[in-house]
Amino acid sequence: MRELGIGLIGTGFMGRAHALAFHNAKAVFDFPLNLTLAALADADPQRARQCAQSWGFATAHSDWQQLIDDPKVNLIAITTPNHLHFPMAMAALAAGKPVYCEKPLAVSLEQAEQMQQAAKAAGVVTRVGYNYQHNPIIQLARDMIQRGELGRIISFQGEFSEDFMADPTSPWSWRCEAAHAGGALADLGSHLLAMARHLLGNVEAVCADSQTVHNQRPASAGNPEQRAIVVDDQVHALLRFTNGARGTVSSSWLKHGYKNHLSFEISGTLGTLAFDQERLNELRLCRIGQPGFQRLLAGPDLPGYAAFSPAAGHQLGYNELKTLEVQELLMALAGQGGSGTDFAEAWEVERLAAAIRVAAREQRWVKISE
């Protein structure tokens, strides 16, 4: 078995999710690789040491470049704020190492273009953390669409909304900085755009509107100083898919009551399929001639589900989806996978998001080819 040393950069929510996913993948799946947790990096040396010890990594670094240069590290997992994705991924690719980067790929289309070109030149496996696509029930939805069970697809209605920024007194964070993040479209909407492409394919044109509802926020918790906000709080867009379908997508981080509302309805000439990530183990399906929707429940008959539960109704969760994403990544590194979102596909998502921003700014239809 070939040794594969994991190097993880970042120790926030996503860093912990990646660490847990690698642990779970080792426990649940058999790989033609000997997986080791080689090194962890965080700018805070004490936190780096604490997390490395708690999460089972052999070495701690306070300099991410040292982690990339570490000869025991073969795969670089990046879970930092968005603006750091570009320099870290480019350094890893320059070192000839595969990269597993959180979404969105970059903070600009120009950066995303350079990253996907560098990945192509390096000839290494790359993956981006669009983990919701690895849900077994989403694969079922995709298979049903591709088999023609919904007939000719005519519409896609999608939304990804949460409420973690709904309080206008919530303090400024790096997510509020255009150069560091990109607003609700980048943070939440990128998942929705990736899902739309995953299920229905290319989009040829968009029209959009975006809004910054809360123009300022406290500089920090309890601080009377206010900081200006210029990133979008909510975005609405119309899509024209290459296959002829029409679509709508919306994303907001201000909608009270929603915690992880990644949802879609796909309608065809023979039926409608609906999904909501807050009920991630089921689809709703209405076929032509039926009086209403039936519920399709995920179970061990779907690829990936049985690895965690032998019975329907016992439910998978967020961390299982991340583990399934890691499984696909590791199999790709072993030369036995190829279905995940690589840098080239993530660049297509960024190109779509960039077109939406142009359409919102210029108030017109924008072709993706522009």
Number of domains in the chain: 2
CATH number for the domain including 73? 3.40.50.720
Cα separation, 39 vs 210, in Å, equals: 41
Do 219 and 353 share a domain, yes or no?
Answer: yes
Q: Of the candidates 115, 131, 147, which is a domain's last residue?
A: 131
**What's residue 231's pLDDT?**
94
* Structure token pair of residue 232: 């979008």
| Residue 95 near residue 329, CB atoms below 8 Å | no
| Domain contains 289 | yes
Q: Which residue has the tokens 């480019």?
A: 90
Q: Of the candidates 131, 157, 183, which is a domain's last residue?
A: 131
Cα separation, 266 vs 241, in Å, equals: 13
Do 71 and 143 share a domain, yes or no?
Answer: no
250 contact partners, CB below 8 Å, separation of at least 6: 158, 159, 160, 161, 234, 235, 236, 237
**What's residue 182's pLDDT?**
83
**What's residue 2's pLDDT?**
86
Do 184 and 102 share a domain, yes or no?
Answer: no
Paired sense of beta strands 33-41 and 99-101, if any: unpaired
| Residue 261 near residue 252, CB atoms below 8 Å | no
Do 78 and 159 share a domain, yes or no?
Answer: no
Cα separation, 177 vs 88, in Å, equals: 19
Rounded to a whole number, what is the largest CA-CA distance in the chain? 63
28 contact partners, CB below 8 Å, separation of at least 6: 307, 308, 323, 327
Count CA atoms closer than 13 A to 341's CA, side-chain side. 29
Alpha helices in the chain (DSSP H): 13-28, 45-55, 64-69, 85-94, 109-122, 136-146, 183-184, 190-200, 318-333, 343-362
| Domain contains 337 | no
DSSP symbol at 104:
S
Peptide linkage before 98 cis (omega within 30 of 0): no
| Domain contains 292 | yes
Do 68 and 122 share a domain, yes or no?
Answer: yes
| Domain contains 123 | yes
Paired sense of beta strands 153-161 and 246-252, if any: parallel
| Domain contains 320 | no
| Domain contains 212 | yes
| Domain contains 295 | yes
| Domain contains 338 | no
- From the list 333, 351, 322, the residue with the least C-alpha distance to 105 is 351
**What's residue 1's pLDDT?**
55
Do 60 and 138 share a domain, yes or no?
Answer: no
Do 215 and 169 share a domain, yes or no?
Answer: yes
| Residue 253 near residue 233, CB atoms below 8 Å | yes
Which domain does 173 fall in, by range?
A: 132-313+343-367
DSSP symbol at 363:
T
pTM tops 0.85: yes
Q: Of the candidates 103, 131, 159, which is a domain's last residue?
A: 131
**What's residue 179's pLDDT?**
85
Cα separation, 231 vs 136, in Å, equals: 34
Do 255 and 265 share a domain, yes or no?
Answer: yes
Do 126 and 250 share a domain, yes or no?
Answer: no
Do 190 and 93 share a domain, yes or no?
Answer: no
Per-residue tens of pLDDT for the chain, all 370 residues? 589 999 999 999 999 999 999 999 999 999 999 999 999 999 999 999 999 999 999 999 999 999 999 999 999 999 999 999 999 999 999 999 999 999 999 999 999 999 999 999 999 999 999 999 999 999 999 999 999 999 999 999 999 999 999 999 999 988 898 888 889 999 999 999 999 999 999 999 999 999 999 999 999 998 999 999 999 999 999 999 999 999 999 999 999 999 999 999 999 999 999 999 999 999 999 999 999 999 999 999 999 999 999 999 999 999 999 999 999 999 999 998 788 999 999 999 999 999 999 999 999 999 999 8
Do 97 and 236 share a domain, yes or no?
Answer: no
* Structure token pair of residue 282: 């089921």
Do 30 and 144 share a domain, yes or no?
Answer: no
